[in-house]
Amino acid sequence: MMNLAWKEIKKSKVRFLILGSIVFLVSLLTFIISGLANGLSQDNAALIKDLPNGQFYMDADADETYNLSRIDNSTMEKLLNNEKDATALSIQMGFLNDESDKQQSVAFVTSTDSKLFPHVKSGEVILDRSMEDKGIKVGDTLTNNQFSGEFIVKGFVDQTKFSHAPVAFINIKNYKEIYRVNEMQLVFLLGGDSSQEFAGLQSFSKQDFLNTIPSYSAEQMSLNMIVWFLVVISGLLFAIFFYMMNVQKIGLYGILKAIGLKTSRLFRIMWAQMIFITVPALALSIVLCQVFNRIAPEGMPFSLTMETTATLSLVFLIIGFIGATLSGIQIKKVEPLQAIQQGEM
């Protein structure tokens, strides 16, 4: 079958190049914003996001705010004893003073014994690796104004942040001293689901719990809204572009129909052109995004996984297909007779 779609693109390079460039720019912007959204999300809640699937529980009276939650010790003990994959944990924002007495903002995290969180002895701390960039090394001694002793840095863990602060894993005893509390805030039930209810506790899926983190949902909602706006805009771009092209080609379509070309083939030409434009534009965007990922400044939270890239690319293709198809409804309506009665194209 003659490749009319490609022949037209070759003959009208500028026209298609313009659309391709716009799709490229919109998709690049979408990928970058999506990367930033994901990066910020990691920066805000990697500690929680990177946990395997499971169910969080907090005090039912905590008004869905984890740092107001105080789980009664007897309830916690019962839960930990009955559920072998349960872990109690607490998270609080705080400060550590480094050896030069400079304050470093951290998220203190403590937990009962669990394979999900590093085991830390009293007087020890394990930090997120980003603290290494701030000059902190293994063996350094750190202090906290509310803590009577000192913390010795035992090691670093990768990509473990909470509320945009590096996580500092400390022992329960030390945590209780710093925050003057006796109860833990949360229980995480590995592999649990919403069907498991416990008296006095409110249950949250991982995503629900993430949404209770102040700023997380607001931040993600705004960025995701921009991403989806851009996706919709790209769909509209396709619809408008092909609409304009189709309006210009109504005469041609009519003649092609008159000589016997099937309407379905005219649609296939349009879809093929949509793919010819979108695929290279997306490929270029993906490559540039990966380059951006490598050259982005250290502090810029950027994370674009292959899964997100593939999903967005697929969404772009589907949106492009829908946009082009909607504009192509005109093709279906074209009567050969109209075209014949028109002048030369």
Partner 1 sequence: MMSIFTIDKVKKTFTNGEVKEEVLKGINLSLAEGEITALVGASGSGKSTLLTIAAGLQPASDGQVLFEGKNINAMNQEQIRQIRASEFGFVFQFAHLVPFLTVEEQLMLMLDVSDSTLKKTEQKREVNRVLQLVGMDHRKNAYPPSLSGGEKQRVAIARAIIHQPKVLFADEPTASLDSKRSKDVMALIRELTKTLNITTLIVTHDEEMLSYADHIIKMSDGLILQNENPELVGRA
SS (H, E, C) 21-77: HHHHHHHHHHHHHHHHHHHHHHHHHHHHHCCCCEEEEEECCCCCCHHHCCECHHHHH
Does 343 engage in binding with partner 1 (CB under 8 A)? Answer: yes
Which region, judged by CB under 8 A, interacts with partner 1, from 18-26, 128-136, 205-213, 253-261? Answer: 253-261
Which one, 12 or 146, has the nearer CB to partner 1? 12
Does 118 engage in binding with partner 1 (CB under 8 A)? Answer: no
Does 59 engage in binding with partner 1 (CB under 8 A)? Answer: no
Which one, 123 or 336, has the nearer CB to partner 1? 336
Does 256 engage in binding with partner 1 (CB under 8 A)? Answer: yes
In terms of Cβ atoms closer than 10 Å to its own Cβ (0-12, 13-18, 19+), residue 184 is: buried
Smallest distance, partner 1 to C-beta of residue 268, A: 13
Does 255 engage in binding with partner 1 (CB under 8 A)? Answer: yes
Q: How far is CA 343 from CA 12, 266, 337, 338, in A?
A: 21, 21, 12, 10
Find residue 168's DSSP bridge partners: 108, 127
Which one, 194 or 248, has the nearer CB to partner 1? 248
Does 14 engage in binding with partner 1 (CB under 8 A)? Answer: no
159: left (phi over 0), alpha (psi -120 to 50) or beta: left
* Rounded Cα distance, 48 and 204, in Å: 12
Of 14, 199, 259, 306, the one binding partner 1 by CB under 8 A: 259
Which region, judged by CB under 8 A, interacts with partner 1, from 1-9, 133-141, 160-168, 326-334? Answer: 1-9
DSSP 198: -
Does 261 engage in binding with partner 1 (CB under 8 A)? Answer: yes
Q: Are 126 and 154 in contact (CB under 8 A)?
A: yes
Q: Are 140 and 99 in contact (CB under 8 A)?
A: yes
Amino acid at position 247, single letter: V
Smallest distance, partner 1 to C-beta of residue 237, A: 22
Closest CA to 71 of 81, 82, 62, 83: 62
Does 241 engage in binding with partner 1 (CB under 8 A)? Answer: no
Does 8 engage in binding with partner 1 (CB under 8 A)? Answer: yes
Does 7 engage in binding with partner 1 (CB under 8 A)? Answer: yes
Does 266 engage in binding with partner 1 (CB under 8 A)? Answer: no
Does 288 engage in binding with partner 1 (CB under 8 A)? Answer: no
* Rounded Cα distance, 155 and 64, in Å: 33
Smallest distance, partner 1 to C-beta of residue 6, A: 10
Does 336 engage in binding with partner 1 (CB under 8 A)? Answer: yes
Which one, 36 or 266, has the nearer CB to partner 1? 266
Of 150, 251, 271, 330, the one binding partner 1 by CB under 8 A: 251
**Count of residues near partner 1 by CB under 8 A:** 26
Which one, 261 or 326, has the nearer CB to partner 1? 261
Q: Encoding tokens for residue 267?
A: 């649609």
Does 340 engage in binding with partner 1 (CB under 8 A)? Answer: yes
Q: Encoding tokens for residue 312?
A: 């967005």
Does 43 engage in binding with partner 1 (CB under 8 A)? Answer: no
Q: Are 199 and 152 in contact (CB under 8 A)?
A: no
Closest CA to 39 of 227, 287, 212, 204: 227
Does 344 engage in binding with partner 1 (CB under 8 A)? Answer: yes
Does 18 engage in binding with partner 1 (CB under 8 A)? Answer: no
Give the footprint of partner 1 on this chain (CB under 8 A). Answer: 1-2, 4, 7-8, 10-12, 251-252, 255-262, 335-337, 339-340, 343-345
